Amino acid sequence: MNLKLKSTLANDQGVQQSDIDGAERIKYKVYFKDGTSEVIDLKAKVKNWKVFKATDIKKIDMDLKF
């Protein structure tokens, strides 16, 4: 996970790298202003993440299970 995302998670959500490493499941659902959405699974073995512009994002939901 890149440093900027780690920093944002730690500062905004209180989620540390140790939380991510110890989680059974951690997913984000990103909602865009154009009405589309995408699920990002941080525990997936294959990472096919796209780069998003922050200005295109409307909302982000986090699903974290220990």
pLDDT for 34? 96
Q: How confident is the model at residue 62 (pLDDT cuts 50, 70, 90)?
A: confident
Q: DSSP string of 1-65?
A: --HHHHHHIIIII---HHHHHH-SEEEEEEEETTS-EEEEETT-SS--PPP--GGGEEEEEEEEE
Rounded average pLDDT over 18-32: 83
CATH of domain 3-65: 3.10.20.120
Q: Which amino acid is at 24?
A: E
Q: Rounded distance, CA 7 to CA 14, Å?
A: 10
Q: What is the pTM of this model?
A: 0.64
Strands 37-41 and 57-65: unpaired
Q: Confidence band (pLDDT; 50, 70, 90) for 10?
A: low
Enumerate the domain spans of the chain. Answer: 3-65
Look over the chain and give the mean of its residue pLDDT values, rounded to a whole number: 79
